[in-house]
Structure 1
Amino acid sequence: METRKEQDWKEIIRPSNNLLSLNLKELWEFRDLLLILTRRDITAIYKQTILGPLWFFLQPALTTLVYILVFSKAGKLSTGNLPPVLFYVSGLVLWMYFADCVLKTAGFLKENTAILSKVYFPRLIIPISIVMTNLIKLGIQLLLFFLVYVYFLVKDPSIKPNIYALLFPALTFVLGLLGLATGILVSSLTTRYKDLSHLITFAIQLLMFASPVIFPISAIENETARLFIQLNPVSGIIEAFRFGFLGGGYFSWSLLAYDTIFTLALSFFSILCFNAVEKKFVDTI
């Protein structure tokens, strides 16, 4: 019997020796897997729950209510010239998006070791799918913001959008990339330093208090404290979002430029660290 001829195609998987390698073509070829993982994650969030997707609304709604009672009513913290409910919900939906991107991607190597050690696909597909899942959640939670927003547009003439609201897609992209880069960096370092998996949750909680989620930058009188808050790359994004849609808050092109440069630099460093540990992380976890 005649020997079957070798097929005229084959897939060759070679390890990359370039620490800065980012194969975007390969990521695109696995886009179907990306969509499958995103759909799976969204379904898993509300599967076998009573309220289903309503949980996406409950978290920012209840948190906003608590912030109003604790910080605005009891603590008498200023929210500038913005209504407290609109101020808090606008900051919370963006902060929750960033925090979820970081915390969910920070352990992706450790949590998916079993499948990553047996099946080949671009490893970055997993954290990217997590960010896409959180982007969908952000879209749903923004409905809550816009419900409150429309109410105040009708009630309060001082609340009005401006041309800077068009920056929203770019702000969302930079914020998601910042969360992705931070999570990938932490996940890469966790393969060697296990304590980071516990530290990152605490660090994100502390970072929120160094962000204009509870108070506006304009309310900070101390110059050193204000500079410290502005060094947080999330601060400029949240304030720019408020300024564009609400017409209040602090807006600075230089601050947004800093946030963008910081995010790109962190992304560069994260890819460097990830490529360094990708080949042998199974042996170290």
Structure 2
Amino acid sequence: MSVPKEIIPANYVVADMQSKESWTEVIEPRTSLLDLRLGDVWRYRDLVMMFVRRDFVSTYKQTILGPIWFFIQPLLTTITFIIIFGRVAKLSTDGLPPVIFYLAGVTVWSYFSQTLTATSTVFISNAAIFGKVYFPRLTMPVSIVVSNIVRFLIQFGLFVAIWLYYLLRGESSIHPNWLIALTPVLLLMMGLLSLGLGMIFSSLTTKYRDLSLLLTFGMQLLMYATPVIYPLSSIPEKYKWLILANPMSAVVETFRYAFLGSGSFHWGYLAYSACFTAIALFLGTIIFNKVEKSFTDTV
């Protein structure tokens, strides 16, 4: 039974208004699909760093070698590529030493693939946390992007060490150029592209779990559609557009061209990748914000 307003004590109304004004956090539904609330993510930056630390601890907990795996994984992958694609398949490396050629592709591709794969399972992997306490949901995929940046920097340091070794030895096939300055831009593009695509897949997998399995298999195929194990120059001209349709192709080729001076670089290809990244991030934002409101009912 409702109480008439005229019999509610005035001091009760004032106290109620004061209690509402004393809240430090007001949780309200989002009115716009494009409202990312980046301010909330910044205020929860300590939580983001905690998630980053959790990723490191959970990944290498109870391992003997620990963070040394950051170096072992790209080295083992590079050695495998040298044996299979270099010695057996005899694929071209544009006259570059196979070690530095494959390691350049592995360093770039590992960051993108690991970030996208991890981001694509955000809702499913963290459903228990999301259902118990409120925090900006975007902090979780952002923490994945940041933690993988740390991994990339460590593996990038390994690449730079081997790259300097060849330079100091006087390797004539390596010709670095000023495009090295674009490395932060390439890293940003990879991070945003994996974030956008990851939010799309993460949102869709709340209803369609098969997509997570499809993505794992698709990432393996996508690597072969990216000039990681071969140079773009080895692709016949009539099929080259298929490879360039992959937004990661321009990123890998630009990275390799900047540090090694071999490969192909074109501002148009890089602009296409940037536009693709912006569209993926835009669509990922819309879908993520829409699914966020009701994903606990379907997970």
TM-score range, shorter chain: over 0.9
> Which of 196, 209, 213 in structure 2 is aligned with 1:198?
213
Correspondence for 1:32: 46
Amino-acid identity (%): 46
Q: Deviation at 1:157?
A: 3.0
Q: Which residue, out of 171, 189, 195, partners 2:186?
A: 171
Q: Deviation digits for residues 214-239 of structure 1, max 9, x if unmatched? A: 10101112x23210000100010011
Deviation at 1:81, TM superposition (A): 2.5
Distance 1:23 1:161 in 2: 41
| Mapped pair 1:50 → 2:64 | yes
SS across alignment from 2:155:
helix
Following superposition, the deviation at residue 43 of structure 1 comes to: 2.2
1:239 aligned to 218, 240, 253, which one? 253
Which piece of structure 1 moves more, 40-49 or 79-88?
A: 40-49
Is 191-200 or 94-103 further displaced after alignment?
Answer: 191-200
Deviations 1:227-285 (A, max 9, x none): 00001000100110111111111101000000000000010001111111111100011
User: Equivalent residue of 1:234, what SS?
Assistant: helix
* Counterpart Cα distance in 2 of 1:191 and 1:132: 23
Residue of structure 2 aligned with 1:82, choices 87, 96, 100: 96
Aligned amino acid, residue 283 of structure 1: D
TM-score, with length taken from structure 2: 0.91
Q: Residue type matched to 1:158 in 2?
A: S
Report the more deviating stretch, 253-262 or 145-154: 145-154
Instruction: Name the amino acid aligned to 1:72.
Output: G
- Pair 1:229 & 2:210 matched: no
Aligned residue number for residue 41 of structure 1: 55
1:184 aligns with 2:199: yes
> What residue is the counterpart of 2:176 in the other structure?
161
Distance 1:159 1:251 in 2: 15
Query: Tell me, which stretches of 5 or more residues in structure 2 are unaligned?
Result: 1-10
The one of 274, 282, 294 equivalent to 1:260 is: 274
SS of 1:224's equivalent in the other structure is coil
| CA positional deviation for 1:182 | 1.0
Pair member with larger Rg: 2
Deviations 1:104-149 (A, max 9, x none): 0111101111110111111010111011111100111112211210
Equivalent AA in structure 1 for residue 221 of structure 2: L
Q: TM-score, normalised by structure 1?
A: 0.96
- Supply the distance in 2 between the matched residues of 1:275 and 1:44 (Cα, whole angstroms): 28
Q: Which runs of 5+ in 1 are unaligned?
A: none
| Amino acid paired to 1:244 | A
- How far, CA to CA, are the matches of 1:144 and 1:45 in structure 2? 20
- Equivalent residues, number: 283
Matched residues in 2 for 1:224 and 1:161: separation? 29
1:9 has 2:35 as partner: no
1:180 Cα deviation after fit:
1.1
Which stretch has the larger CA shift, 151-160 or 136-145? 151-160
**Alpha carbon RMSD of aligned pairs, Å?**
1.5
Moved beyond 3 Å, runs of 4+: 5-8
Task: Give the drift of 1:41.
Answer: 1.0
1:191 partner letter? T
Secondary structure of 1:215's match?
coil
Q: What's the counterpart of residue 126 of structure 1?
A: 140
Offset of 1:46 from its aligned partner?
A: 1.8
2:7 alignment partner in structure 1: none
